[in-house]
Structure 1
Amino acid sequence: MAPEERTEAAALLRSFERRFLAARALRSFPWQSLEEKLRGSSDSEQLLVDILQKTVQHPICARHPPSKKYTQSFVLELIRKHEAVHTEPSDELYEALAEVLTAEEPSQCHRSYVLPSGAVVTLAESTAIVSHGTTGLVTWDAALYLAEWAIKNPAAFAHRTVLELGSGAGLTGLAICKSCHPRAYIFSDCHCRVLQQLRENVALNGFSLQPEPRADTQRPLVTVAQLDWDTATTPELAAIQPDIIIAADVLYCPEVTRSLVKVLHRLSICLKDRVPDVYVAFTMRNPDTYQLFTIELGRAEISWETVPPHNRKLFPYEEGSETAMLRLRLEHQHREAWSPSPQGLCTEAEPVSCTALHHVKS
């Protein structure tokens, strides 16, 4: 194989590996590029074997497999692509399919993300977009975007106390804990089922939530906290004293957007000698929601600026998604009473209806 072909094949394998480990939608895989490679390669059988080793037979999948249905669909699609080019069946592909069909369904399905250091973040996640009345059980593109920015800017987090608002499945925080050396990391969310899954994911990635002294002082002190943005008390917020605050994909509903600004304003009142930076990453779905966020920030006298975009190379993102990030400053002088504007609140009666209405966040 020529050097150029080897480079292209390596890039193709990386793409399949990242997407399969993260259990991304099968339509997002580079199937057309694979077909072209199978037609033009003198050793297409070896290419398919390499793809199997990087996906279904990957050591990470042996420990933390995706769902059986997902793996089966992937192998069947590989078989279809192979048979579209070659008349002879592939023994390796059919053996892989037989192994999948005879395997037991795992009790949990997983998504895994390989970091530049070689460390892996593995998440047990729900297969449904909305599960138990919340969108917090899956990982959204803005969480990937913020994690990638953090990995490229580790000094922003090193030896600092980080508070994450709306941690969801935990991808961003776990990536930061494994790559950026924070002193302490506080995951937070308000939904009981999300918090349960979050604690499991923290433990799955080797972090202890126990308060006993740590043997490895290089590892952050990790906490999972229940934090309702609307009902959090002043003592509860004052006890946190973060150096940096982050949030990802929490701008999908007017009601939630106003609650976010409300808790940020209350945090600014509770701060002592800290003026933390706040980074909010989001996927641009509805310009009106973004505009509402900036308007509410202005009313709360919280300054903000757009963070320059970075190339999305590390993680497998959804095709066509537009992600961005703002940097806010919580100055001490914001001590006047403030409440969000009442216009345009979600009007559904059920507590989870706003989430259900926006379950695809579009």
Structure 2
Amino acid sequence: MAPEKSAEAVGLLRTFERRFLAARALRSFPWQSLEEKLRDSSDAELLLDILQKTVRHPLCVKHPPSGKYVRGFLSELIRKHEAVHAEPLDELYEALAEVLTTEESSQGHRSYLLPSGDALTLRESSAIVSHGTTGLVTWDAALYLAEWAIENPAAFASRTVLELGSGAGFTGLAICKECRPRAYIFSDCHSRVLEQLQGNILLNGLSPEPPPPPGHSPPGSEKPTVTVAQLDWDLVTGPQLSAFQPDTVIAADVLYCPETIRALVRVLRALSAGPEGRRAPDAFVAFTVRNPETSRQFTAELAQAGIRWEAVPRHGQKLFPYDEHAEMAILKLTLPAPQTHMET
């Protein structure tokens, strides 16, 4: 194989590996490039390499995606092979036979490779909406915000971070593994989301602990102190929020409807309440721009609450697989100076 073609094959393998580990939609894979590559090759070595980087990958063996997803992937791989090769490839059919015997589940794993060489694995629902919530899956803005965080670790290093609407936990776990925060508070309101979130934190080698008392500074450690909190944005009070004493506040893909936006802005405004002399936390909100009107409503609500904002420039690295054509945004918010009282 020529050197330039070898480089193409390496890039193709990397794309298949990362998209399969993350259980991305099968239509997003470079199937046409694979078929062209197979037509140029006289053997099935590339397909065997793809099998090792996907279905046979150690991460997938230990934490497999849903059986339905693996079956669909292998079926498509077999179709591409049969389109250009007369002889069947036994390894592909053996892998398909194995997954055909697995018990079907409503959940599966998604894994992501981090720059440090570590991996992040989540157990998620196979459906976008499950148990009456969308919080059981990872949304693209969470991946985008995690990329930005990894590129800008100073915003999180040695800080206490509060995440609003943590969902499956991807962004927070990436920050905990790559950005060395002092403490990290995951939060959500749905009981099923919180249950799954707790499991994902444990799956990645972290142990949720009760919130530390106000003013307590955890001892130095390689791992941050991790807390999971149930926060209902419509009910939480200023004192409850200020007790977390966050230095940085983040949220990803939480702008769904006017009611949610107003509740989020109320929480952000409440975070400015706290002990006199304590600076307001830095805040970052990431979202996919699906409807420009939703973005305009968010910025209008911020202005009415006295919260200034600026768009964060797009970052340069693409670490995780998500829709390249989606418009992503991160807003850096300047919360009002701390006040002694707030409405509850």
Q: TM over 0.5: same fold?
A: yes
Q: Percent identity?
A: 69
Q: Following the alignment from structure 1 to structure 2, what is the Cα–Cα distance between the partners of residues 311 and 93? A: 37
Q: What do residues 45-90 of structure 1 show as CA deviations (whole Å, max 9, x unaligned)?
A: 1100000000000000111000111111110100001111112211
State the TM-score, normalizing by the size of structure 2: 0.93
* 2:283–2:335 CA contact under 8 A, matched in 1: yes
Q: Following the alignment from structure 2 to structure 1, what is the Cα–Cα distance between the partners of residues 226 and 298? A: 29
Q: Following the alignment from structure 1 to structure 2, what is the Cα–Cα distance between the partners of residues 264 and 165? A: 10
Partner of 2:116: 117
Structure 2: unaligned runs, 5 residues or longer: none
Letter of the 1:152 partner, please give it: E
Q: What do residues 173-216 of structure 1 show as CA deviations (whole Å, max 9, x unaligned)?
A: 00000000000000001111111110111011110113599998
Partner of 2:130: 131
Structure 1: unaligned runs, 5 residues or longer: 340-362
Partner of 1:164: 163
State the TM-score, normalizing by the size of structure 1: 0.89
Moved over 2 A (4+): 102-108, 210-216, 333-339
Give 1:68-107 correspondences, 5 Å limit: 68-105=67-104
CA RMSD of aligned residues (A): 2.1
Q: What do residues 68-122 of structure 1 show as CA deviations (whole Å, max 9, x unaligned)?
A: 1111111010000111111221122112212222344468411111101111111
Give 1:100-249 correspondences, 5 Å limit: 100-105=99-104, 108-210=107-209, 217-249=221-253
* 1:241–1:271 CA contact under 8 A, matched in 2: no
* 1:65–1:106 CA contact under 8 A, matched in 2: no
Deviation at residue 270 of structure 1 after TM alignment: 2.7
Deviation at residue 274 of structure 1 after TM alignment: 2.2
Q: Which one is further off, 262-271 or 179-188?
A: 262-271
Closer, same or farther: CA 4–263 of 1 in aligned 2, 3 Å:
same
Closer, same or farther: CA 92–215 of 1 in aligned 2, 3 Å:
farther
Letter of the 1:229 partner, please give it: W
Q: Which one is further off, 305-314 or 45-54?
A: 305-314
Q: Following the alignment from structure 1 to structure 2, what is the Cα–Cα distance between the partners of residues 259 and 5? A: 53
Q: Following the alignment from structure 1 to structure 2, what is the Cα–Cα distance between the partners of residues 305 and 35? A: 45
Q: Following the alignment from structure 2 to structure 1, what is the Cα–Cα distance between the partners of residues 164 and 342? A: 22
* 1:301–1:334 CA contact under 8 A, matched in 2: no
Give 1:26-45 correspondences, 5 Å limit: 26-43=26-43, 45=44
Partner of 1:354: none
* 1:163–1:246 CA contact under 8 A, matched in 2: yes
SS at match of 2:236: coil
SS at match of 1:270: coil
* 1:251–1:257 CA contact under 8 A, matched in 2: yes
Q: Which one is further off, 92-101 or 286-295?
A: 92-101
Partner of 1:253: 257
* 1:67–1:109 CA contact under 8 A, matched in 2: yes
Deviation at residue 334 of structure 1 after TM alignment: 6.6
